Chains A and B, each alone.
Chain A
Amino acid sequence: MTDNRRGFLRRIRARIRLAWLAATTQRFLPHLGLVVLAALLVSWLSPFDQGLLLAGAIAAAFVLVLLAGSLLLRISDWDASRAAERGLGAKDVFSTALEFDDENDGVHRSIQDRADRIAATASPAVAIPIHANRRRLRQFGIIAALTVLVGILPPLGSSPALSSDLQAAIEEEADQIERLAEAVREANVETSEEIIAELERLAEELRSAETVEQALQLLEDSESRLEASMDPEFLSQKTAVQGLARDLALRPLSTGSALDAASQFRDLAESLGELSEPELAALEDRLSDLAASQAAGNASLSGQLSEAARALSSGDLAGAARSLQDAAAGQQTGLQDARGQQALGETQRALEGARHRLSGTADPNQAQGQGQGQGQGQGQGQGQGQGQGQGQGQGQGQSQGQGQGQGQGQGQGQPGAASGIISGVAPGDGTAAGQGGRGTVGQGTGEGFGSEVGAASVFDPVDRGNVSDMLQVGIDGGSGEGAVIGTAEAPTQTGQSLVPYSRVLPEYLNEAADALGELQLPPSMRGIVQTYFDLLADEAG
């Protein structure tokens, strides 16, 4: 083969690679388009948000495979010769010349010469034309148009871009969270640093949130992290520590002692030598009782008090004094821990409130529907004699006097989606029965029977403007036949037929503390119960 024809065939090969690339690309373009469209559709219809990236990767892989395929294409001399002679209409001259190449044969030489002459003037572009596959290109065009359409449409079910109102609402929540962080810093509890870090980070992330969903998710994540930081034994420990404090406040260990438990322990440790034998014996019993009361929630303090009691029993006043000093320190530490944990819980609830507000801002229709639909309650009650009453904000309540009462309440409805259900049945003896429902917004309808003995205002631990609690603590005695004396519609925040809970609080506290220490309650229920009583205690304080 002459150099002339060899060079020609080399150019033909390059042209064949190009033609193969063009033909194969056109052949599979609709398929590529379909795959890319499918990827975008998946991204459009589902939460999978990497559709564009996936589509780009598929397209890039397609290009790479085609390029590699064209480079790796094996094109023999015969292939190039046949392609060239077919494209040029050269009547099989190149392939025949390739086969009949005997230089000593006149006919062969003539065939070679003819092939060389054609090769010298032929253009590879003419020999190997690149055709447009119109049908495939048309198909691809349609698919490409659909792909672009899917690409520019926002994902199905996605939130629209943040409106200025929503942006302002998020900004406001971020500001509030920063203010909350500042308040936590001033409170200077054990968990302040952790809470502040969480809140500052949350505020910053909130400001950069692009959608309401993202902002809500950030708040929820933050709540989850704070909840995870809380000690699962916090409730029982807090109950024990605060119960001890209250017990000692009501019944000091010695007359004239300071009110707080730690001070009482320290004062007692210093004055043990001044006590008489009967006083020491009484003190030993008291310390044993206190130790028993702390066994469930504060084992460490219980052990120290038990140790002090044992020391007193054995006449070891010095040992008893050391144990009492330890108990004082333990009680102080326990209180600090409790405050820190409480700060975590309150921060979590504050974030929950922020989330509800933001959710309500994002979808006011939803908030309205829930508030109206779920936030109503109705109560019925029957009473006998005097002192029967019933009321509710969000819930239902029933009670009967004469030592028996039943109450049941449900309360729901907040701006947004929060809801709360508290139900219970409490036997009453004329002094207490009732339930409380938590909620926000919502209309409550209440009907009351009998005479109203007393009512307490509602306490809102999170946001007084939006979250409300109702406490119905009972009915103050009653007997005889009763009659409906009136009904009233009551908003959630102001229930009717309430009595001052200060009357029943100490007993409630003791019962609740015992229950928390003894019952195997799930942590979520402990939280509810603990929060309930914490609020009562704080309000009382």
Chain B
Amino acid sequence: MADLQPQDLEMYSEVADQIEEAVGRRIAGQPDLIRQTLVGLLAEGHVLLEGVPGLGKTELVKAFSEAIGVDFSRVQFTPDLMPADIVGTQVLAEDDSGHRRFEYQAGPIFTNLLLADEINRATPKTQAALLEAMQERQVTVAGETRPLPRPFLVLATQNPIELEGTYPLPEAQLDRFMFKVTVEPPTADVLEEILRRTTGGAIPDVPLAADLETVSRMIAMTPALPIATHLLVYVSRIVEATQPGGDTATPPVKRYVRWGSSPRGAQAMVLAAKAAAMIEGRLHVTADDIRWAAPAALRHRLVLGYEASAEGVRSDVIIDELLHTVPEPKPEIRGTP
């Protein structure tokens, strides 16, 4: 494990601020979205962006790639998209001497930031190819395994409307995403700012805020941040409480949740909390970091039942109630805070 130094942490915090500021020049009024994406980047966790078209999801990914100076690819997922269209394929090539041989032509997945646009429109086979690469951070084509470049971050989008002709991601594949970020429509003020920036003829530039090496070190340092045991207990309690059959499940969980979070949800919360602490320049994780990370880390991992669908209950409501119900570990002494 990398050796984390306090002075490095201060620098990383400043770099993170610069990245957020740089991306914020392009993406107006979405600080949480930018923060969550940056956390996903530092924790090397893929992010599923859910929102209606036109909210700047593609611009977000582009801005990030420009801010940290990394490669960026965008794949528009459609029903006829094949796995080879993503991971690449062997093609017959002829050299100068006229010999023909198969040559691997890399797909768009060989990049640092991959925007998988409308991922739920591709067939499950194609989705599975992508998700395997996300998990393994490598692809195998024609018996040859090829590692993906680091950092490697997939930002997938899916449209919550127009579900006809789509292939909703299976739960197991959803679990591969560290975060699911809901992109909310902009408010009037934000929209005004967007209009000012995008209708003036010149799109704001995104300055380079960090080089690839620095970002890679930040990614490597993130897991090294200390987290106290009682916070791990806290995370465990939260995840345990999402299980509707568990003793600690809250009434809404028992009523609306069919399946609770997997251990990956707990891992995602801890890593995201560490990344958030690093961005804040803190030397350790706090319970606030846990609570901040919980909704994005858990909302796509709760499988809701029919009752929730019928009553329009969203997982965010259940998670919010969970965070208010599950107690943070504290002294069991009357009168203490």
Contact = CB atoms under 8 A, between A and B. Distances in A.
Contact of B9 (A21, A100, A107): A107
A213 to B, nearest CB: 49
A96 B330 contact: no
A82 B5 CA distance: 26
A127 B329 CA distance: 17
Interface in B217-258: 224-231
Contact of B6 (A82, A83, A107): A107
A132 to B, nearest CB: 12
Given A100-B284, A107-B226, A110-B6, A87 B333 contact: no
Nearest to A92: B286
Contacts of A128: 335-337
Interface string A46-76: 0000000000000000000000000001010
Given A100-B226, A106-B5, A107-B4, A75 B333 contact: yes
A19 B6 contact: no
A92 B284 contact: yes
Contacts of A194: none
B321 interface: no
What are the 7 closest A-B residue pairs judged by CB atoms, nearest first?
A: A23-B335, A19-B335, A79-B331, A110-B6, A83-B336, A91-B286, A87-B337
Interface string B252-290: 000000000000000000000000000000111111100
A394 to B, nearest CB: 74
A75 B336 CA distance: 11
A23 B337 contact: no
17 contacts: A19-B335, A23-B335, A75-B333, A78-B331, A82-B331, A83-B330, A86-B336, A91-B286, A91-B288, A92-B284, A92-B285, A96-B226, A107-B226, A108-B226, A111-B284, A114-B283, A128-B337
A533 interface: no
B53 to A, nearest CB: 39
B331 A83 contact: yes
State the majority secondary structure of interface residues on A.
helix
A20 B285 contact: no
B336 A111 contact: no
B334 A20 contact: yes
B283 A86 contact: no
Contacts of A86: 330, 336-337
A82 B284 contact: no
Interface residues of A, number: 36
Contact of B226 (A24, A75, A80, A111): A111
A111 to B, nearest CB: 5
A23 B334 contact: yes
Contacts of A80: 331
Interface in A91-135: 91-93, 95-96, 99-100, 106-111, 114, 127-131
Which of B5, B286, B334 is most buried by chain A, counting CB atoms within 10 A of its CB?
B334
Contacts of A110: 6, 283
Contacts of B231: 92
A11 interface: no
A541 to B, nearest CB: 87
Contacts of A259: none
Contacts of A27: 334
B334 A83 contact: no
Majority-rule SS of B interface residues: loop
A107 B331 contact: no
Interface in B1-37: 4-6, 9
A16 interface: yes
B333 A73 contact: yes
Contacts of B228: 92, 95-96, 99-100
Nearest to A27: B334
A5 B286 CA distance: 20
B279 to A, nearest CB: 14
A100 B224 CA distance: 12
A92 B334 CA distance: 20
A313 to B, nearest CB: 101
A150 interface: no
Interface in A1-50: 16, 19-24, 27
Contacts of A130: 335
A127 B286 CA distance: 18
B286 to A, nearest CB: 4
Contacts of B229: 99
Interface in B312-337: 329-331, 333-337
A107 B230 contact: no
Contacts of A16: 331, 333, 335-336
Interface in A254-281: none
A78 B229 CA distance: 11
A106 B330 contact: no
Contacts of B330: 82-83, 86
A100 B286 CA distance: 14
A91 B288 CA distance: 8
A293 B27 CA distance: 136
A106 B6 contact: yes
A75 B333 CA distance: 8
Contacts of B337: 83, 86-87, 127-129
Given A99-B228, A99-B229, A111 B334 contact: no
A78 B6 CA distance: 24
A273 to B, nearest CB: 108
B73 to A, nearest CB: 36
Nearest to B336: A83
A80 B9 CA distance: 28
A93 B288 CA distance: 12
B258 to A, nearest CB: 34
Contacts of B286: 91-92
B334 A24 contact: yes
A24 B286 CA distance: 30
Most buried by A among B284, B287, B335, B336: B335
A91 B9 contact: no
Contacts of B336: 16, 19-20, 79, 82-83, 86-87, 128
Contacts of B288: 91
Contacts of B4: 106-107
B274 to A, nearest CB: 12
